[in-house]
Amino acid sequence: MSFAPNANIAKHLLPGDIEVIQTEVERHMQAVLDALVIDTNHDHNTQGTAKRIAKMYVREVFAGRFEAAPEVTECQNDSGLDAVYSLGPIAVRSACAHHLVPVTGRIWVGVLPGDKLIGISKFVRLANWILSRPHLQEEATLMLADELEGRLKPKGLAVVLKAQHQCMVWRGVRETGTIMTTSIMRGAFRDSKAMRTEFMAQIKD
């Protein structure tokens, strides 16, 4: 059982639990605002802030912790397609586990199919589900690759994630230009330079 920041805990939740979690987060966020000496009682802008933040964390930006995986219809690769395809960019909307501030960027995926295919929108659904949790970028990339590999059983899989971390922009080193790139190459993409080159050429623009 894992309750790590980037774990999905949907299978541990009973009906009604998500409402309880959201109410708890709201109560504690109000305590944070109180601790920051913000008088939310006499300011209409922050009066509903604890409630808004709780909704944002539980239902939006960290929904990938609480919601079950999206439905992914699989079909057989009946025509025996044996060519590289790629898709992207897929928008990254995540948060770093250290400061809980946004990580935004883009993902590209390359597949040399095996026996299974999935609809291309499902790559986006799965990426959104995994990324909407507090993460380390390295782990997010690995988690997405594992998820896609488990579902597609491809002959080759490539995942490239480029992102900007607001914990380095908004605060801390305050560096506005730094992009982190993580990439995972498996199967044919790991073994063959020609395959990697073909994938890179496909996503170049």
Ligand X SMILES: Nc1nc2c(ncn2[C@@H]2O[C@H](COP(=O)(O)OP(=O)(O)OP(=O)(O)O)[C@@H](O)[C@H]2O)c(=O)[nH]1
List of residues contacting ligand X (CB under 6 A): 96, 98, 136-138, 165, 167-168, 172-173
Give least dist CB 33 to ligand X, A.
Answer: 21
Give least dist CB 132 to ligand X, A.
Answer: 15
Q: Using CB atoms, what's the residue nearest to ligand X? A: 172
Question: Minimal CA–CA distance to 127: which of 80, 178, 74, 89?
Answer: 89
CB-nearer residue toward ligand X: 165 or 196: 165
Give least dist CB 137 to ligand X, A.
Answer: 3
Question: Is 177 exposed, middle or buried, given 0-12, 13-18 or 19+ CB atoms closer than 10 A?
Answer: exposed
Give least dist CB 176 to ligand X, A.
Answer: 14
Query: How many other C-beta atoms can be found within 10 angstroms of the C-beta atom of residue 34?
Result: 13
CB-nearer residue toward ligand X: 34 or 175: 175
Residue given tokens 């190459």 in the structure block: 185
Amino acid letter for position 171? R
Three-class DSSP category at 183: strand
CB-nearer residue toward ligand X: 30 or 94: 94
CB-nearer residue toward ligand X: 50 or 96: 96
∠ Cα 123 143 130 (to 5°): 55
Give least dist CB 129 to ligand X, A.
Answer: 18
DSSP 8-state secondary structure symbol assigned to residue 171: S
Taking each helix axis from N to C end, the angle separating 137-152 and 120-131, rounded to the nearest 10 degrees, works out to 140
CA distances to 43, 63, 132 from 20, in Å: 26, 15, 20
